[in-house]
Amino acid sequence: MLAKLQTFSLLGIDALGVEVEVDVSSRAIPKTILVGLPEAAVRESTHRVERALVNSGFERPRDRVVINLAPAELPKQAASFDLPITLGVLAGSGQMFSERLEEYAVVGELALDGTTRSVRGALSMAMATAANPNLRGLLVPTANAAEAAVVDDIEVIPVASLAQAVGFLTAAVDIEPAPCRSEELFAQHGKYDIDFADVRGQEMAKRAVTIAAAGGHNLLMVGPPGSGKTMLAKRLPTILPQLSTGESLETTRIYSVLGLLSSGQPLMATRPFRSPHHTISEAGLVGGGSPPGPGEISLAHHGVLFLDELPEFNRRTLEVLRQPLEDCQVTIARAVRTTTFPANFMLVGALNPCPCGYRNDPRRDCHCSVPQVERYMAKISGPLLDRIDIQIEVPAIAYRELSSQTAGTSSAVMRESVTATRDRQLARFQGSGTRRNAQMTPRELRKHCPLDPAGVELMRTAMSDLGLSARAHDKVLRVARTIADLDTAEAITVSHLSEAINYRMLDRNLWA
Phi-psi sector, 284: left (phi>0), alpha (psi -120 to 50), beta: alpha
The CB-side HSE value for 3 (13 A sphere, CA atoms) comes to 25
Question: Residue 243 has what DSSP assignment?
Answer: P
Distance CA 396, CA 205 (A): 12
Q: Pairing relation of β-strands 64-70 and 14-25?
A: antiparallel
Residues 114/147, Cβ–Cβ less than 8 Å: no
Residue 67 bridge partners (DSSP): 22, 34
Distance CA 282, CA 316 (A): 8
The residue ranges of the chain whose pLDDT is under 70 are: 505-512
pTM of the model: 0.92
Q: What pLDDT, on a 0 to 100 scale, did the predictor assign at position 511?
A: 46
Q: What pLDDT, on a 0 to 100 scale, did the predictor assign at position 317?
A: 94
- pLDDT tens for 59-72 read 999 899 999 999 99
Q: What pLDDT, on a 0 to 100 scale, did the predictor assign at position 508?
A: 56
Q: What pLDDT, on a 0 to 100 scale, did the predictor assign at position 512?
A: 44
- Residue 71, preceding peptide bond in cis (omega within 30° of 0): yes
Residues 49/89, Cβ–Cβ less than 8 Å: yes
Distance CA 118, CA 137 (A): 18
Distance CA 25, CA 3 (A): 12
